[in-house]
A = this chain, B = another copy of it.
Amino acid sequence: MQSLSLAKRKFFARLQEKKFRDAEHLFVAEGLRTVRELLQHPRSQNNLVALLITTAQAETFSIPQSFTTRSFAASAADLRAICDTSEPQGIVGIFRQLVVEKEHVFASVATKTRALIIALDGLQDPGNVGTVIRTAAWFGIDAMIASAATADFFNPKTVRAAAGSLYALPLIRSTSLANDLATLKLSGFTFYAAALEGMDVRGVRPAEKSLVMIGNEGNGIAAELLGAADVKIKIEGDREAVESLNAAVAAGILMSLFAK
């Protein structure tokens, strides 16, 4: 294992800022479970930049052969400086963000006869966003697209909740969901929007090519987007008992119904 230079430590610590993460196309995975899950994905071979590990953790965690040259000995203080969590369990991974060309993804789904895309408009809790990514990976969703107001895909809390699924599907950050929606509708997608005034989703027979949009935890989907919906859908429930479902649970139920 190499030792961690001060310059590297400084550089990695700056990855706590979203701007810097995006400029460098990197993200930080904190803790044993998260690092282990990401390393299991074949894409990590090319995309692990550095594995930072304390001597205590190195005693029990066996670094896979192919990653040894990218491993650095770090102190607990080093890790605390780089991490969002106060207790990163002696291990942190620095990974490359998957480069996703939106035009490429859109062209690819345009040629398909069956596809499912999940869109997030303003989901603010990074844990929810990570859980939606994890669920989308499980159901083999073709792509996820999120408005600018949605929590960062590469926030440490998102990374943790995604449980190693960040390389499993194309994640697209949209500067205009309305424009992207129009493009996808032209290539045959039916746009389903989750909304309180929607119809009971159990009565809906999903189109072969579906785009399902989930809105903000409190306010739902923005009005201009909702207006473009082909079908508004909702998950029936008892609003006297509780105000709403958790957004990641709602997204999970919808994905389970729309996934082929």
The minimal Cβ–Cβ distance linking A199 to chain B, given in whole angstroms, is 16
Q: How many copies make up the complex?
A: 2
A-B contact pairs, 22 of them (CB 8 A): A37-B242, A37-B243, A127-B127, A134-B242, A134-B245, A135-B245, A135-B249, A137-B241, A138-B238, A139-B238, A140-B237, A140-B241, A163-B242, A163-B243, A163-B244, A163-B246, A164-B242, A164-B243, A168-B238, A169-B241, A246-B248, A256-B256
Residues of A that sit less than 8 Å from B by CB: 37, 40, 127, 131, 134-135, 137-140, 161, 163-165, 168-169, 235, 237-238, 241-246, 248-250, 252-253, 256
Q: Contacts A168-B241, A252-B252, A253-B252; is A246 near B134 (CB within 8 Å)? A: yes
The smallest C-beta distance from A159 to any residue of chain B, in angstroms, reads: 13
Give the distance in Å from the alpha carbon of A127 to the alpha carbon of B138 in the complex: 21
> Shortest distance in angstroms between A112's beta carbon and chain B's nearest beta carbon?
17
Q: Are A165 and B241 in contact (CB under 8 A)?
A: yes
- A138 is contacted by which of B40, B137, B140, B242 (Cβ under 8 Å)? B242
Shortest C-beta distance, A253 to chain B (Å), equals: 5
Chain B residue at smallest Cβ distance from A168 = B241
Question: Across the interface, do A168 and B253 meet the contact criterion of CB distance under 8 Å?
Answer: no
